[in-house]
Amino acid sequence: MIATVTLNPAIDHNIEVDEIRFDDVTKMKNSFMQPGGKGINVSRVINLLGGPTVAYGFIAGREGGQLSMLLAEEGILNSFIAVKGGSTRVNVIVTERTTGKQIRMNGEGPRVEVEELELLKDRLLRFGKGGPCAVSFMVFAGSIPPGLPKNVYSYLIEEVQSIGIRCVLDTDGDALKYGIKAKPFMIKPNTYELERLVDKKVEKDEDVVEYAKAIVNMGVEIVAVTRGGKKAYLVGRDFVFEGIPPKIKVVSAVGSGDAFVGAFLYAIYMGKTLEEAFKWGMAAGAATAMVPGTGIMTLDLFGEMLPLVTVSRIE
């Protein structure tokens, strides 16, 4: 099973309008709710591809119950810790149909206490060890909720890797800087996250490879750097793969990186090579960018994108 841990999950409320009118009534043309958060999106993609997954994290209030129900409706196992402080955040995404522009308003999320973090850690270790739901990979993704320290991912990854589970980290800023100290199996920054991590500008393709190699030398096994419509790179101690994404019309880039992680890990889980898994990840990212709002890819779009991705080993 591939588990995901989203410390600050969300409900994404997607609203579509013809035109955003400030200081006036704007009529909604479409409105729908979806489970959200980076790790949640990873689980949704794995589930769509037919893989076994379980989503862990924190929920709070009525919104937390609604999130759990939305995941159950998609057939995704979830095992959340219910916390007392506040409610699960609701993100509002307003898309203007005439221009494709979006207004994104993200909630803060509930406050999580250290005692509640310990409950989550114990659950991850108890259910990750073995049995019918044994975990091969555990993905830690997204922002840190109020109340938890910046090194929370490092703490959890060290604990989980101590029982032999390979961990993937997909976050940003201080959470990523502290998190890589635990030497996770893989990280997946985009261009801006990589720049913030190494505190340097990415000005050319060679910079991506150089900075990714430096992170590998710190103990991370695989660094996957996605860059929207530009070349992506998969870097390890003994290899560098370069990937060229298909040319598409981007509808919404939200969740594309999460789709990459989900498809990449599921491909590895299925015994695919790193090169094949890289193609799967890039195809999933492109397919998700073609879907409105915070939606994830469809299987048809994924199938269309897969043969259009070009991957080559350059080192």
The string of pLDDT tens digits covering residues 102-125 is 888 988 899 999 999 999 999 999
Known catalytic membership, residue 258: yes
Decide if 1-182 and 188-315 have a common fold.
yes
188-315: which CATH topology?
UDP-N-acetylmuramoyl-L-alanine:D-glutamate ligase (3.40.1190)
Provide the CA 96 distance to its chain's centre, in angstroms: 25
Pick the CATH number of 1-182 from 3.40.50.300, 3.40.1190.20, 1.10.287.90, 3.40.50.1240: 3.40.1190.20
**pLDDT-based confidence at residue 132 (cuts at 50, 70, 90):** low
Q: What is the pLDDT of residues 146-189, one digit of tens each?
A: 999 999 999 999 999 999 999 999 999 999 999 999 999 999 99
CB 85 within 8 A of CB 112: yes
How many other CB atoms sit within 10 Å of the CB of residue 62? 9
Catalytic hit among 24, 205, 258, 300: 258
Report the predicted TM-score, pTM, of the whole model to 2 decimal places: 0.93
Query: Which residue from 179, 187, 194 is spatially nearest to 264, judged by alpha carbons?
Result: 187
**pLDDT, mean over the chain:** 93
Mean pLDDT across the stretch 17-40? 91
Side chain identity at residue 238, one-letter code: D
Output DSSP code: residue 85: B
What are the boundaries of each domain within the chain?
A: 1-182, 188-315
207's enclosing H/E stretch is: helix 205-216
